[in-house]
Amino acid sequence: MQLFQRAFERRDATFSLKDPAIQIMRDWFGGGPTASGVSVSQKTAEALPIVWRCVTIISDTVATMPIKMMRRVERGKEPDTNHPLYSILHDLANPVTTAHNFKAMMQRQLCLWGNAYAMVERYPQGDIKALWPLESSRMVVDFDKQGRVTYQYGTGADKQDWTFDARRPPIFHLHVYDLDGIHGRSPITVLRESCGEAMAAQRFAASFWANSAQPAGLLLYPGKLKPAAKQNLRESWEERYKGAENAHKTGILEEGMKYQQLTMPLEDAQFLESRQFQASELSLMYGVPPFLLNQTEKATSWGSGLEEQMRGFVSITLAPWENLWKQSIALFLLTFKSFETHEAVFVNNALVQGDLKARMDAYAIEIDKGILNPNEARELEDMNPREGGDEYKNINAQPSAARYPNQHRSRR
């Protein structure tokens, strides 16, 4: 399947600055200005280590959790490996993209842009053949005159247009923080000022180290210099003494010239503390707990132990993303028939498991009470069943599937 390669460009003779395409181009190629004087876009903000790390943690974790298509049965649900979507979401999204990479790419676009798109390729009978991720920066979503949702990808010769069809949606669309139901909003756009402050501090730090970790200074000359002489003096001084590699070199001043160093600004401005505060503030943008960002110098309200903090990360940070994926898969990828009988489930057991002893003690209690049988406990540990392991110790206990009562949903 050929993906679209032409850069997004606007060829209309006239356009409005409120046009979604122009807004997207503004964000991508420089974004809007901030009070700090730094222009912020998704591309530039991603270069901030704290933004990169937050987005990477979320996208990699989401990608690591397998998605299984589950079929509802009389009591509970079970994996349906024969469902057309099972292998696409669990193994290969398309012939050249693994399910892991597909989820990572989509989640990354979602975190940076507030939108993630994939083209849905179908067989003639309607079953989904493959999912092809698209660049969020090149997609424009709008309503047509009939009130239908439309998708435009690129312009010119490579322009592609789709119209949403509830029976066979052409685009798989994940979106967050939207105000109208179709246009997701990037957290970077919403919190542009905070990103701008952090980027300004990063640039200041880079300039500081580029100047030998020394503040600016003045060359004092007792006489009067012509403009050309001033320029030559400044250039020759910076060429010899500017930069970390030139630090601590001995300078020689002639004809009564003196060097006066300006006061050190970093201590008064609490520069390091400011950068730490900005990193903490930006981590709030994605809800990533401090312990995953190596910010352990302060007390955390996420829990006292690593296991407890990890459960908080799964239940508070990841759960909304999982639910978004689950419901979007149902809306865009399931047929009307499958909508009533199947659902997508993220398997995150590995993320919330306690230590080995705690797990074994819990399994022993559940097996003793007849809540689980040995094979169900083995399955939770990714172990194969053993002969006789399907028997419950308490013969009067109900099967564990009773813990998951059948839930009926109707599609609007």
pLDDT, one tens digit per residue, over 328-355 is: 999 999 999 899 999 999 988 767 666 6
d(CA 113, CA 94): 23
To which residue do tokens 């028997």 refer? Answer: 391
Whether residue 207 is found in the same domain as residue 284:
yes
Domain containing residue 115: 1-211+271-352
Residues 6+ positions from 378 with CB-CB distance below 8 Å: 384, 385, 386, 389
Kindly give the residue spans of alpha helices, DSSP state H, lying in 296-394: 306-312, 319-332, 336-341, 349-352, 356-368, 374-380
User: Looking at residue 15, what is its pLDDT?
Assistant: 40
Positions of the chain with pLDDT lower than 70, given as ranges: 1-47, 190-223, 225, 230, 233, 237-282, 295-305, 350, 352-355, 382, 394-412
User: Looking at residue 44, what is its pLDDT?
Assistant: 64
Whether residue 279 is found in the same domain as residue 196:
yes
For residue 410, is it within any domain?
no
For residue 405, is it within any domain?
no
Q: At what angle do helices 319-332 and 49-64 cross, to 10 degrees?
A: 60
Q: Domain tally for the chain?
A: 3
Whether residue 167 is found in the same domain as residue 253:
no
User: Looking at residue 275, what is its pLDDT?
Assistant: 47
For residue 412, is it within any domain?
no
For residue 340, is it within any domain?
yes
Whether residue 367 is found in the same domain as residue 346:
no
CA angle 282, 286, 292 (to 5 degrees): 85
For residue 197, is it within any domain?
yes
d(CA 66, CA 345): 8
Whether residue 34 is found in the same domain as residue 157:
yes
> Whole-model pTM?
0.66
Burial of 75 (0-12, 13-18, 19+ CB in 10 A): middle
